Structure 1
Amino acid sequence: MLLQFVTAVGVLAVLTMVPGPDMAVVTKRAVASGWRDGLRTVGGITAGLLWGVLAVVGLAAVLAASATAYTAVKLAGAAYLVLLGVQALLQSRRAPSRSAAGALSPPRGNPWRTGLVGNVLNPKIAVFSTGLLPTPAPTGLPPHAGMALLVLVHRMLTALWLGGYVLLLSKARAFFEKPAVRRGMDRVTGTVLIGFGLKVASARP
Structure 2
Amino acid sequence: MVSYGNLAAFALVALGMVLTPGPNMIYLIGRSITQGRLAGFISLLGVVLGFVFYMLCAAFGLTALLLAVPLAYEAIQWAGAAYLLWLAWSAIRPGARSPLQPDRSLRHDRPGRLFAMGFLTNLLNPKIAVLYLSLLPQFIQPEQGYVLLQAVVLGLAQIAVSFSVNLAIVFAAGSVALWFATRPRWLVIQRWLMATVLSALAVRLALEQRQA
Partner of 2:64: 61
Checking the alignment, whether the CA contact within 8 Å between 2:59 and 2:152 is kept in structure 1 is no
Percent identity over the alignment is 19
Deviations 1:121-158 (A, max 9, x none): 23121333x438x76x7xxxxx97x6687477436413
**Unaligned 5+ residue runs, structure 1?**
98-102, 138-142
Deviations 1:87-128 (A, max 9, x none): 1011xx44869xxxxx9465xxx9925873212223121333
**Unaligned 5+ residue runs, structure 2?**
33-39, 104-116
Checking the alignment, whether the CA contact within 8 Å between 1:95 and 1:179 is kept in structure 2 is no
Partner of 1:70: 73
Q: 1:116 to 1:71 in 2, by over 3 A?
A: same
111, 119, 124: which is aligned to 2:135? 124
Q: Size of the alignment, in residue pairs?
A: 180
TM-score, normalised to structure 2's length?
Answer: 0.60
Partner of 2:89: 86
| 1:164 is the counterpart of 2:164 | no
Alignment of 1:4-83 (within 5 A): 15-18=10-13, 19-26=15-22, 30=25, 34=29, 36=31, 47-48=50-51, 50=53, 52-83=55-86
- What CA distance in whole angstroms lies between the structure 1 residues aligned with 2:75 and 2:169? 32
Alignment of 1:119-198 (within 5 A): 119-122=128-131, 123-128=134-139, 130-131=140-141, 150=153, 153-154=156-157, 156-167=159-170, 170=173, 171-177=175-181, 178-198=183-203
Whose helix proportion is higher, 1 or 2? 2
TM-score, normalised to structure 1's length?
Answer: 0.61
- What CA distance in whole angstroms lies between the structure 1 residues aligned with 2:179 and 2:202? 28
CA RMSD across the alignment: 4.4
